[in-house]
Amino acid sequence: MKHSLHILYKSALVIILSIMGIEKMDAQMIAVRNNVVYDATMSPNIGFELVVGERKTISIDFMGNYKPLGKDMKMMFLQPEFRYYFSGRPMFKHFVGLGLIGGGYDITWKGKVYDGMALGMGMTFGYVKKITSRFNIDFHAGFGVIGYKQKEYYEGDHFDQDYMEGNERTNASGYTLLPTNIGVSVHYILK
């Protein structure tokens, strides 16, 4: 799991640096953001968005939780994204985004344990509404393909202690279509 997450982090860095080199970046805008939908589910998050062109931005979001709403779950995810704004101005009005997502989770749900990692990619559609010169509200929804590899077992089975040749053994993997980015984010423009 750790090896795949390192690959995701390195891939995100390469993509971001490649996009940054596409256009000359004059008068950059940088915003910090928080998804209030994640906050409502007790999942702390923070994101950063950087203007890289006349209609383009790149962003990276971090989200994690530990026993939100009293549920037995732990998650940590990273989500880089490239956005194209149709209005001719970045961080304003309609946009489409392409992003990656990756992270790890340990969830107990109805007596069953899901412990693994997920990697995926998807598209996001949204609208950014200007509130003041420094604050924006971002409404967005996205879907994508997520690949997962996990240990799946019933509580009390002690499968969490199962190793093969010194490595943790997984017993479930696959791909699924899922929402990858849903929310209402509040942006604060730093520069």
Per residue in 6-50, pLDDT (tens digit) is 665 666 666 656 555 555 555 578 999 999 999 998 999 999 999
Task: Give the range of the structural domain holding residue 30, as residue numbers without chain letter.
Answer: 2-101+119-143+179-189
Q: Are 128 and 90 in contact (CB under 8 A)?
A: no
Spatial CA neighbour of 36 closest among 48, 49, 24, 45: 45
Q: What pLDDT, on a 0 to 100 scale, did the predictor assign at position 140?
A: 97
Q: Are 156 and 174 in contact (CB under 8 A)?
A: no
Most confidently predicted of 87-91, 123-127, 162-166, 170-174: 123-127
Separation between Cα atoms, residue 168 and residue 172, nearest integer Å: 13
List the CATH number of the domain containing 125.
2.40.160
Q: What pLDDT, on a 0 to 100 scale, did the predictor assign at position 151?
A: 86
Q: Are 140 and 122 in contact (CB under 8 A)?
A: no
What residues have CB less than 8 Å from 155, skipping those under 6 apart? Answer: 108, 111, 112, 113
**pTM value > 0.75:** yes
Q: 98-137, pLDDT tens digit by residue? A: 999 999 999 998 889 899 999 999 999 999 999 999 999 9
The answer as to whether 110 is a domain residue is no
3-state secondary structure of 90: coil
How many domains does the chain fold into? 1
The token pair at 17 is 């640096």
The answer as to whether 161 is a domain residue is no
The answer as to whether 22 is a domain residue is yes
The answer as to whether 113 is a domain residue is no
Q: Are 4 and 164 in contact (CB under 8 A)?
A: no
